Amino acid sequence: MQFVVTGYDVKDGGKLRAEHRPEHLEGLNSLVDGVVLSAGAFLDEEGNPAGSSMHMEFTSQEAFDAYLENEPFAKYGVWEKIETHVLRQSISNPSRES
């Protein structure tokens, strides 16, 4: 199952994000083979991180829920709001590298 996760940072959460970013990235990097399809921060008008967007693939809803429960940005309150959606992928471009 593929999931899209959008986490919106708390207001003025730059220090909190910076504090937990190493653990957040370590977790994502450990899942890069087969789970993380893409991930990154989206930016505010000044070019500062305002949240995160992740496209991931898990074997089940339960596996995804377990991941999200322990995701550092969710766990430590970096994200004030989290939206998740199951994605039925229609198009993929495997030749595109970013």
Segments in the chain below pLDDT 70: 96-98
Tell me what pLDDT residue 92 has. Answer: 82
Tell me what pLDDT residue 41 has. Answer: 97
pLDDT digits (tens, 9 = 90+) for 58-81: 999 999 999 999 999 999 999 999
DSSP of 15-67: HHHHHHHHHHHHHHHHTTTTTEEEEEEEE-TTS-EEEEEEEEE-SSHHHHHHH
Tell me what pLDDT residue 96 has. Answer: 66
